[in-house]
Structure 1
């Protein structure tokens, strides 16, 4: 059984690159894996460590011969062709040495897949855990759980057919498949469309302009404009009639949808994806057909680099053509609604204002590029698998966008976080320093791996935890290490620490008025809102806010109305609240599910009041104990070269002192002294262990004991004498 508590990362990698055939057999024969790119994934490959498990995968889609009832829907699939263990990383960002085991025949994993060449997986969610066990331990995939998970249940779930939404998707996909047969010869298609226009009202827009004075019937058409003939601002009755006639011509036997919920429609005045003949460029319609075909290919072969590159290049080319604009994304959504997102005006507003997601604007005329479009799809798809997320598929997102109640007039809308000058953030190629529970243990944590795993699981489920314990139990140190382990990497930029104190206010922590350099007051976001915005902009990345000594301030006052949003089941845009210092009617805030909070609390501080029940209900509390035991002895001896016998003597003395403190009726367990006092800092050099310990006793422990026994200094002195006696 694969030990997922110790492994830093599991890697799922491709073996096909630009204009190359499958390299799996060569990789296995030579005991290597190679990054076929010279300009991509280099830092990610350098992050792969000896001992990490690795698998060669190939992603695609399947509709037939599946081991479960797919209800006629297309399923994402991933073939596992080989598994292995990394032996050596050559450090060039290109080459690994791997001990491979072929998987023949390749075994297929379904639903939870990824299109990029390199996929770093950490077992922090049930889907990932299941895939790791399936790949490396031959454990059976739980098809039923996946079929009924939020992201997939609309297509594959067990609910009655009458309760399922988005039944139109099968019809639209079938129409797209039928249209693809006419890619190279559109003569019969255009004749059929003109014939339909004589039978059904609503198709008066099919007249082309050949010169300034010459017009006539449209002689050529693209597939998106074809699908647009029943996706315009006309009556539902006419939409159904047109769709029925077109389906009959294409040989589609799936019934015409009864409803068109969530489907974006074209403006009747701009229903073509190309310009009139007298303004469009030669090849514009052909390029739209090329876009149509490669999009269908990409939806069916998810991680083929050649298809991805072809899609991006064609997307960017079409994006520059006359009359296309954002309609291109709606057309892609029509033909494969489960794989592509529509970025029509309502969807863009919903993404920006409600989901608080940034749309890249690096393409033509401040629209998204092909790469940014695919990155956005990956980013949102990852959120669909979160039970608490407001939407769980692109059809549901489109429907929610059209039902979204507008707060401001559309003409004045300025989407949040859509700054064209900012770079779109992508995890591909990002340098990673992996971090796991084993790293915490290696760096001087004296808990067991099982205890640490329990803490991480608690943090993942509750979202907010408080580490509490006596002084010197390493609460702040462990908070940061748990944050790194939660993220699976050592990333200082994704972890932020703040200190609570009696003078800290809501205005400091959340939002408040601040004087500006211009001599006026500006509404400024505090560290908590700043972290919220960072987490919303990068929903596929985990962020952690560490609050040191959380009980030294007044948490209920500092958090204010946002305290209620900390609850795990309220981490969704639908629970957003308006802050007391608001920037406008549309300024509502929610805490995303990828932002975690770790607080620390010194339970020996008698100057502080108890934490109120409102805060306690929203945090899980984890007790830390002094860990001056054999694990501590072994680690300190190994790291600093101190004799075990001397450390065991210190251990005995500290245990005796803590027993004395615990037995004192005025003190108790919460006043014991933790292991941090007698654990040297990582860069310390201990030349004289005796002198080192005596210095700690007199400069650190004695002042603390004098504070404990402030009304009986003899007790403090005697305790210190016993610590130093005989050394």
Structure 2
């Protein structure tokens, strides 16, 4: 017994050297997979959810290839190749006594790329490296690894135990139940409580941890063999009893199989439809219908040649077409119009399966044709002789079929975006009518305060400037790290942060708002700056929209140490914070009479900068480059400046916050007829603005607009 220990320990010594050579490990697994080894899918998912090659891997996930729900022969075959490649001296294990296995559909110790932090996998390597070199579990790295999406303390302890079974005890479900049965029912959720549990186990039991793990398996693990016998017994039930009686007996016994499989598939996030159980009434002729009791999951068709209907993975009980013998079976099926059946048959024949037969038949029930690829079919005697949990075999086949369907799908070609172009203060100044001193002052305030508001009358380029500030601080024009939204009077906390939203089935789901999602992106990339721009920030009820963020957006309240529970948090452990690398830029139109007054609580958290119309030399040069004559430029500047002076002087109704900005007159392309272009802007854009300003004196607005025409 325990022949696996020296093998795993020697493997650990070899794996340490691959911390910075992870692609070598992935290539090795791919080679094994091409040779027929049962390796889990080596495909990752990027930020857009598109499938991509796996580019990094940790040592625990690497060894999980042999420590998951596969047959013992397959495990040994994988370890034999490990021995060859890593030139191990230890013998390939003859047993796996006390070795816990991870879920076959959830074997990775890290999440997909779109949902993992940049240093998740490196954190696992650092924990592993200290374990192997110093024979201890590092507290900081242990707790850091528990922050990895979907990595529980149960799974992490299993991985550590594989490489250090004398010092570490796996805290898997079997061990937890075993310890609870012996009076050790402790709450373990971090390094301190895990170590306390180990000390309690040492006091309670005398043997090493690997023996305790094996004893836990013997204590409860024998239920696997019993489970197979129960299924075999169900298949042998008296066939002379009514179908409904037989079906109920079988259903009660198979329910745990179905439920465990459904949970495993859900945890693995394989993109399939919801599991659906169904019973089909028994036909008079046994040969007429295979399926009696089943559960199914839908896959999207990999190719339009197979028609519009989905492919299904099913597990169920049925009567063999030949002989009427009851059996348990699983595999994939399709039904639809007869003209697609031949293409489906050819497709199923191309799918790899250890044991399969293709069956194609007309289906009166569906009004079309049924095509089956049956991956496995066991009689009652077959099931009773299986020396492993039949659920593990079903899960392994499910995963292989899911991978085969994905491999058969047309490749998703994702063209990587071009590298963001370099951007500097000089670049920004070439696009703005602002002087360098003012721009640098605003940028410095944003870097220090982290929150600024650009305010001013319409047309002074507030939104345009906001993005240029972000680009200049980043040093590149990277729109992936800039998010822009616009507030309005109906904008709410639920839109911005978090709230319940109705679902298609009439219920409600808790959904993250746009700012919450952007914060998560910034948290996962702490080495880069992120900028959130809120246009028309004062149009919403800011107190209600920001909620508890009133505190968190302060420059000195950034970081995980200031995290707090959110309004919709399920418990006090579910906390939220704004990282130090996130910056807020708001814009505020001072000429909008419908806006909400910004209260003092928010004002003291932002630096405010007032922007003015810029009709100087840069503006004139810009118009000249777009074909506007110098004569018309001088007339434009003179007349609009005269109008602005009149607006500023009208302090009773208007004032400086209502001037007409320069961006009204910034063309996007060469101007063919400058006079027509200018007068159209006056008529369609400036005059309506003036009518709004002097809504109680329209004759004044008409008069001032007439003075603008050229």
Relative to its length, the structure with more helix (as a share) is 2
TM-score between the two structures when normalised by the length of structure 2: 0.47
Structure with larger Rg:
2
TM-score, normalised on structure 1?
A: 0.46
